Structure 1
Amino acid sequence: MSTLIVRTRRSFATHWYAWAMVLPVVVVLAVLVGYPLGRGVYLSFTDANEANLGRTIGDFEVPSTYTFVGLDNYWHILSGQEGSFYPRLMWTVVWTASCVFLHYTIGLGLALLLNRRIRGRSLYRVLLILPWAVPAFVAAFAWKLMYNTDNGVFNLLLSKIGLGPVDWLGDPFVQKLSVIAVNTWLGVPFMMVAILGGLQSIPRELHEAAEMDGASPWQRFWNVTMPGLRPVSSTIVLLGTIWTFNMFPIIFLVIGQAGGTESEILVTYAYRLAFQGVRDYAGSASYGIVILSLLLVFSVFYRGMLKRQEEAK
């Protein structure tokens, strides 16, 4: 312990300017991330809700009456007593896997096209990045209007070719396809830009050498391009998984209350617990910690798997 203190003091004395630059960021993260996270962990071990949390009304202060319940909230969720955790978890996993797969494959295809020398390449890049520049809530409302059963552009196009209107946001299965389409539209530009940067970092000499050795285009893609993209791909797939798993605005804003609970992912259900109905703050906090734990386990497993693959080579 004394050695750690001595090293810390020596670091402060030697690199005081760097510590001074980092300190504001550390303070902001502690306030905006650390305190809410700690408060959420604490509430997850209680039975806190709107009725017993306590509040101040004018000059009168209502004391908190919630109690410590230990792991009861987690047992209630993970044991299946609630009856909705595992179905929502399954849909959340399907939602995340589908979106990330489409993000990566479409982004890879577009990046390969834009990496070629074609006329108007800069214009195409700007146009394809536009969905990423649009705020998520604006895109959600725009797509919701297009999905409108009576006046939406999709049903108008279907009526032109003699097909009946589709209840895009009413039928549970179609709802899920609809929100996957919206999130794919939003997420592809990020993948495209990241992969395009990775493609441009692969030495051209490798492709030329493979071509001279008689490798077909598919062989060059699979044995030169994909290995060269592995560092970029591993990072963006991990980031995409975390972002999509917690993609609150698309599910909440596009579907809203029209879909009941069948199309909810874990994070939207946690929000509903906290801010609708009885306002079960403890249950919502428990859901949040479970979501965080799932993502941490996935991240550790994913990084470990990639490390083992690298060591095997």
Structure 2
Amino acid sequence: MSTLIVRTRRSFATHWYAWAMVLPVVVVLAVLVGYPLGRGIYLSFTDANEANIGRTIGDFTVPATYQYVGLDNYWHILSGREGSFYPRLTWTIAWTASCVVLHYTIGLALALLLNRKLRGRSVYRVLLILPWAVPAFVAAFAWKLMYNTNNGVFNALLGKIGVAPVDWLGDPFVQKLSVIAVNTWLGVPFMMVAILGGLQSIPRELYEAAEMDGASPWQRFWNVTLPGLRPVSSTIVLLGTIWTFNMFPIIFLVIGQAGGTESEILVTYAYRLAFQGVRDYAGSASYGIVILSLLLVFSVFYRGMLKRQEAAK
């Protein structure tokens, strides 16, 4: 322990300027991330709710009366006694997998198209990036208007060809397809831009050598393009999975209360626990820690799988 302290002091004395530059970032992260995370972990071991959390009203302070309950909240969630965790987890995984697969495949196709010599390529790039520039809540409300059963654009187009209106946000199955479509529209530009950068970093000599060896376009794609994109793909798929798993605004703003709770993902249900009804802060915090744990396990497993694949080559 004393050796560690000596090394830390020596490092600070030698690199004090670097420490000074990093300190504001550390303070901001501690305030914006560290404290809320620590508070959430603490509340997850209690029975805190709106009635016993404690508050200050003017000059009058109501003391907190919630108690420590240990792992009861986690047992309540993971044991299935609640009855809603595993169905929501299944839908959250299906939602995440569907969106990430669509993000990557469509983004890859568009990136391959834009990587070719194409007239007006710059214009196409700007138009395809626009969905990414639109704030998520603006896009959610715009799509919700287009999904409107009576006055929406989609049902108006269906009426033109004699098809009956579709209840886009009322039927549980259709509303799930609807939010996947919205999130795909929002997420494809990021994948496209990242993959396009990866494509442009692949040496042209590899394609020329493969072509000289008689490789077909599919063989060049499979043996040159995809391996060359592996470093970029592994990162964006991981980021896309984490972002989509926690994609609160699309589910909450597009569906709202139209379809009950069947289309809620874990993060929207955690929000509802904390800010609607009885306001179960402890239950919401427990859901948040469970979500964090699931993503940490997935990230570790995913990175380990990639390392094993690299070591096997």
1:203-246: per-residue Cα shift (whole Å, max 9, x none)?
00000000000000000000000000000000000000000000
Distance 2:259 2:27 in 1: 40
Q: CA deviation at 1:199?
A: 0.1
CA–CA distance in structure 2, aligned partners of residues 133 and 7 of structure 1: 46
- How far residue 311 of structure 1 moved from its aligned partner, in angstroms, is 0.1
Q: CA deviation at 1:2?
A: 1.2
Question: Quick one: distance in 2 between partners of 1:90 and 1:304?
Answer: 24
Structure 1 stretch displaced more, 14-23 or 239-248 = 14-23
Given the two structures, how large is their TM-score scaled by the length of structure 1? 1.00
Alignment partners' CA distance in 2, 1:286 and 1:265 = 15
TM-score w.r.t. the length of structure 2 is 1.00
Q: What is the aligned partner in structure 2 of residue 79 from structure 1?
A: 79
Measure, in 1, the Cα distance between the counterparts of 2:12 and 2:130: 44
C-alpha separation between the residues in 2 aligned to 1:234 and 1:13? 39
C-alpha distance in 2 between matches for 1:26 and 1:266: 29
Alpha-carbon separation, structure 2, partners of 1:2 and 1:115 = 56
State how far apart, in whole Å, the 1-side matches of 2:254 and 2:50 are: 27
Q: Cα offset for 1:58?
A: 1.3
Figure out how many residues of one structure are paired with residues of the other and give that number: 313
Output the CA distance in 1 between the equivalents of 2:98 and 2:306. 21
Structure 2: distance between partners of 1:91 and 1:101: 15
Instruction: Give the secondary-structure state (helix, strand or coil) at the position aligned to 2:61.
Output: strand
Deviations 1:146-200 (A, max 9, x none): 0000000000000000000000000000000000000000000000000000000
CA distance in 1, matches of 2:280, 2:227: 48
Distance 1:129 1:15 in 2: 41
Q: Which secondary structure does the structure 2 equivalent of 1:129 belong to?
A: helix
Aligned to 1:63: 63
Taking the aligned partners of 2:215 and 2:226, their CA distance within structure 1 comes to: 15
Give percent identity, aligned residues only.
93
Q: Give the aligned partner of residue 149 of structure 1.
A: 149
Deviation at residue 3 of structure 1 after TM alignment: 1.4
Distance 1:4 1:114 in 2: 52
SS at match of 2:40: helix
Aligned residue in 2 for 1:260 = 260
Q: Which moved more, 1:302-311 or 1:56-65?
A: 56-65
Q: Which residue of 2 aligns with 1:17?
A: 17
Unaligned runs of 5+ in 1: none
Following superposition, the deviation at residue 14 of structure 1 comes to: 1.1
Query: Deviating runs (4+, > 4 A) in structure 1?
Result: none
User: How large is the Cα RMSD of the aligned pairs?
Assistant: 0.4
Q: What residue in structure 2 maps to residue 269 of structure 1?
A: 269
Q: Distance in 1 between matches of 2:229 and 2:48?
A: 48
Name the SS for the 1:24 alignment partner. Answer: helix
Report the Cα offset of residue 10 of structure 1. Answer: 1.1
Q: CA deviation at 1:6?
A: 1.2
- 1:61 is paired with a residue whose SS is strand
Inter-partner Cα distance in structure 1 for 2:161 and 2:212: 50
1:49 is aligned to 49
1:71-220 equivalences under 5 Å are 71-220=71-220
- How far, CA to CA, are the matches of 1:39 and 1:56 in structure 2? 18
Are residues 1:279 and 2:273 paired? Answer: no
Q: Distance in 2 between matches of 1:60 and 1:259?
A: 41
